[in-house]
Amino acid sequence: MKIEKWPKGVNGWIMVKDNRITELCPNIFLIRGEDTSSHSYLIRGDYKNLLIDSGVDKNFSRLQKFLLTLGLKVRDIDIVINTHEHFDHIGANRYFQDYALIAAHRFAATKITVEDRYVTMYKSGDINEPSLNVHLWLENRFCFDLGNYRLEVVHTPGHSSGSICIYEFTRKILFTGDTLFAGGTLSYIGESGSVGDYISSISVLETRRINELYPGHGEISKTPEEDMKRAILNARALLRDEEGVEVTHFQEAP
């Protein structure tokens, strides 16, 4: 697909006049989720356009509108990566899967493709929903080469068994899904998750040089080292059943 030239803003960045979309780095856009929906991140690559998390199903028309604002139709998205198997990150996959390759860690793919409504936290039981496909079953260290950006999958079980973070080498940024939030606030440890796995995963992330965190909910962070330390402390406190550990719960799908 031919990538069109964009009008340039300050520092060569694209100016987008919608506060729900932020260009975090050149050609990397945060599209904020609404209500229970996760954020989506769009990366306009030299070779392929890639979306990280599709958000909830009911958020799709909004996501579609924002993509159009950025000059993209649904069929222009070549790859959708799910950071994990929870409903608020995968729900709108169904609108992309006829055009794009859907990618998720294999432990997430197993739950998504068999419609495990317990682990994915879908409760609607709507049999009219088309099944979700996963075309690429990812493993740790799988890479996506987009030309201008190279993304590496880091398997980070803990929040769920199929959780991954996605590390971008040139900018040293980390897309974290629900694994790591600004301030080190914990997310709910899901049905397939484990606090022990979580601490181990964050310890692995701590060995990398990371400049910024781009999480699935809330604000981005420019203090990843502090956030990771805090997340491990919170997780250890959770294991000890201490009171006052802040854990974010996202609503379940209706």
Binding mask 160-179 for Fe ion (x = CB under 5 A): ------------------x-
Per DSSP, 158 falls in state S
CB-nearer residue toward Fe ion: 33 or 45: 33
Minimal distance, residue 137 CB to Fe ion, in Å: 19
Helix (H) or strand (E) holding 234: helix 224-239
| One residue of 44, 86, 105, 217 binding Fe ion per CB under 5 A | 86
Considering the complex, what minimum distance in angstroms separates the CB of residue 176 from Fe ion?
A: 11
- Counting contacts by CB under 5 A, is residue 53 touching Fe ion? no
Binding mask 177-196 for Fe ion (x = CB under 5 A): -x------------------
Q: What is the footprint of Fe ion within residues 98-127 (CB under 5 A)?
A: none
Contacts with 2 (C-beta within 8 Å, 6 or more apart), sequence order: none
DSSP secondary structure of 49-90: EEEE----GGGHHHHHHHHHHTT--GGG--EEEESSS-HHHH
Question: Least separation, in Å, of the C-beta of 73 and Fe ion?
Answer: 28
Cβ proximity to Fe ion, 178 vs 197, nearer residue:
178
Q: Please identify, using beta-carbon distances, which residue of 27 and 38 lies nearer to Fe ion.
A: 38
Instruction: Output the CA–CA distances (angstroms, integers) from residue 50 to 47, 83, 96, 231, in the order listed.
Output: 10, 13, 11, 28
Q: Which is nearer to Fe ion, 39 or 44 (CB)?
A: 39
Quick one: 51 or 70, whose CB is closer to Fe ion?
A: 51
Q: Please state whether beta strands 164-168 and 150-155 pair in parallel, antiparallel, or not at all (unpaired).
A: antiparallel
Strand ranges (E), 74-172: 79-82, 101-105, 136-138, 143-145, 150-155, 164-168
CB 152 within 8 A of CB 191: no
* Total residues binding Fe ion (CB under 5 A): 2
Q: Is 155 in the site for Fe ion (CB under 5 A)?
A: no
Tell me the β-bridge partners of 213: 174, 221
Provide, rounded to whole angstroms, the least separation between the CB of residue 121 and Fe ion: 8
Q: Of 23 and 178, which has the nearer Cβ to Fe ion?
A: 178
Are 24 and 220 a contacting pair, CB within 8 Å?
Answer: yes
CB of 213 vs Fe ion, minimal distance in Å: 16
CA distances from 101 to 18, 52, 81, 120, 232 (A): 28, 12, 8, 20, 34
- At closest approach, how far in Å is the CB of 178 from Fe ion? 4
Please give the residue ranges that form the binding site for Fe ion (CB under 5 A): 86, 178
